[in-house]
């Protein structure tokens, strides 16, 4: 594998501002491994290494981008990116100013997870799979494990030279039960900033999801309609990420006239104790980093504060175009893609209410937990909970079939009338946008209570 530090230093003279309005380059080397199961059989297992880079140029408001995994002829790569930018550019180049930086940021993990023998990883996954299959009624299972360790060097025509390392581990366990023509499934996703131990003790979780999947085969289905619904931190975190977080990405707002009219700073979107944050500076979370992929220092950004819309997520370009400050949210999944506006760690801040007090005055409602899937379209959303329970007279009652929540995100935010004191961050899964996936993120929330929530059912 080439020495990307030496390559980056040799490129500093090529990224001169007199060649374009702005130039930047990324050089990356990565290691990955993965294991996937379908049922009781391994579907895929492997380990790989990769290296490559890209050059991005800005000329008269137009961008040029070229990526490569052959480090020969880098001067030609710069020239190609500039030529592309000249072809597309016909306006002013706008980038919000940031301070240049020269820094080395290490991953902070004791052991690169990719170097752990595949045999050890397989033995652990075998154990999880055996636990799932040991539950009567299980029809099949899915397990997906992946890890990575990556170094990225960023430099630009403004004098920045930043080297950042990061490690990542993620796993998804799914148990699928069947009886007659009925099929139910329950799953969990767990992730870590490179610490293999964080996914090494899921035996009880594996047993729990298998038992829940089987129990759902006999659970009743709720009658559809409006209910007071309490969401657990996992489902509430998915809601805030999918239904609101993506609407806060400023490239989407800038390009959509209707969203510009809706997402007006200062507009009241919820109760005074509703605070929604996107922050890459939270220690130990999968969406955290020190600098984004444009060399902007990570910050904590309030999107909603005391119920009002106060911020959105920016790259340097969107910040300049909307006359706002950059937030360090320009991210690329790897060197093959240019950075675009992405979330990091998105969550609802906790308040003071306990879970017991939150459900105490609910005569008949629904407690929805975990998540199975969902879709969003503009401000409309549909999410499927992974499991659900009736709330009767202030107590958690019988288990019911997983429910589907549907609504308008802005109306739903206004209907949040209670926020718990028990913030929890979901570290599993990854985010997708414009063909770039899976990008490590995390999302979370305390328990939240939503009045007049539409539930699909029989």
| Per-residue pLDDT, 20 | 93
SS3 144: strand
- State pLDDT tens for residues 372-430: 877 888 899 998 999 999 999 999 999 999 999 999 999 999 999 999 999 999 988 78
- Looking up tokens 């430099």, which residue turns up? 155
Tens of pLDDT, residue by residue over 37-67, are 999 999 999 999 999 999 999 999 999 999 9
Q: What is the pLDDT of residue 457?
A: 67
Residues 6+ apart with CB under 8 A from 373: 383, 384
pLDDT in tens, 333-370: 999 999 999 999 999 999 999 999 999 999 999 999 99
Residue 307 confidence class, pLDDT cut points 50, 70, 90: very high
pLDDT at residue 10, as a whole number: 85
4-216 belongs to CATH 3.90.245.10: no
Q: How confident is the model at residue 218 (pLDDT cuts 50, 70, 90)?
A: very high
Give 80-127 pLDDT, tens digit per residue.
Answer: 999 999 999 889 999 999 999 999 999 999 999 999 999 999 999 999
User: Residues 404, 407, 409, CA angle at the centre, nearest 5°?
Assistant: 125
Mean pLDDT of the 139-157 span: 97
SS (H, E, C) 199-227: HCCCHHHHHHHHHHHHHHCCCCCCCCEEE
Q: Where are the domains of the chain?
A: 4-216, 225-456
Q: What's the pLDDT at 274? A: 98
Q: Per-residue pLDDT tens for 186-201?
A: 999 999 999 999 999 9
Crossing angle between the packed helical segments 203-216 and 118-133, to the nearest 10 degrees: 30
pTM of the model: 0.95
Give the model's pLDDT for residue 373.
Answer: 76
- pLDDT cut 70: percent of the chain above it: 99
Which H or E element spans position 71? none
> pLDDT-based confidence at 305, cuts 50/70/90?
very high
Over residues 231-279, the pLDDT tens digits come to 999 999 999 999 999 999 999 898 888 889 999 999 999 999 999 999 9
Percentage above 90 pLDDT, the chain:
88
């Amino acid at each position: 594998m080439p020495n990307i530090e030496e390559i980056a230093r040799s490129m500093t003279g090529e990224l001169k501002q007199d060649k374009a309005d702005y130039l930047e380059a990324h050089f990356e080397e990565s290691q990955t491994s993965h294991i996937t199961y379908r049922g009781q059989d391994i579907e895929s297992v492997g380990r790989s290494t990769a290296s490559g880079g890209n050059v991005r140029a800005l000329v008269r408001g137009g961008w040029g981008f070229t990526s490569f995994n052959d480090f020969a002829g880098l001067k030609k790569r710069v020239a190609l990116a500039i030529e592309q930018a000249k072809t597309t550019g016909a306006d002013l180049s706008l980038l919000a100013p940031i301070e240049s930086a020269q820094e080395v940021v290490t991953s902070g993990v004791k052991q690169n997870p990719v170097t752990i023998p595949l045999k050890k990883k397989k033995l652990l996954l075998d154990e999880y799979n055996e636990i799932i299959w040991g539950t009567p009624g299980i029809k099949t299972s899915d397990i997906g494990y992946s890890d990575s360790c990556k170094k990225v060097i960023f430099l630009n025509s403004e004098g920045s030279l930043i080297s950042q390392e990061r490690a990542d581990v993620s796993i998804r366990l799914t148990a699928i039960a069947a009886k007659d023509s009925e099929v139910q499934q329950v799953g969990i996703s767990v992730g870590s900033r490179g610490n293999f131990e964080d996914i090494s003790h899921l035996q009880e979780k594996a047993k729990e999801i298998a038992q829940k999947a089987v129990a759902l085969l006999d659970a009743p289905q709720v009658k559809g309609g409006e209910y007071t619904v309490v969401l657990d931190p996992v489902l509430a975190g998915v809601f805030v990420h999918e239904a609101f977080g993506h609407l806060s990405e400023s490239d989407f707002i800038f390009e959509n006239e209707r969203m510009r009219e809706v997402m007006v700073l200062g507009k009241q979107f919820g109760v005074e104790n509703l605070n929604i944050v996107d922050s890459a500076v939270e220690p130990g979370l999968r969406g955290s980093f020190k600098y984004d992929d444009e060399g902007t220092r990570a910050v904590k950004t309030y999107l909603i504060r005391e119920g009002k819309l106060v911020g959105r997520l920016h790259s340097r370009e969107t910040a300049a175009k909307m006359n706002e400050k950059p937030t360090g949210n320009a991210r690329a999944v790897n060197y093959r893609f240019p950075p675009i506006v992405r979330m990091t760690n998105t969550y609802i801040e906790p308040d003071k209410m306990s879970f017991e007090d939150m459900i105490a005055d609910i005569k008949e409602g629904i407690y929805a937990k975990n998540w199975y899937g969902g879709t969003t379209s503009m401000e409309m959303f549909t999410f499927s909970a992974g499991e659900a329970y009736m709330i009767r007279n202030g107590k958690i009652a019988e288990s019911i079939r997983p429910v589907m929540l549907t609504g308008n995100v802005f109306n739903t935010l206004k209907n949040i009338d209670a926020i718990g004191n028990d913030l929890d961050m979901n570290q599993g899964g990854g985010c997708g946008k414009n063909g770039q996936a899976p990008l490590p993120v995390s999302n979370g929330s305390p328990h939240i209570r939503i009045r007049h929530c539409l539930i699909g059912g029989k």
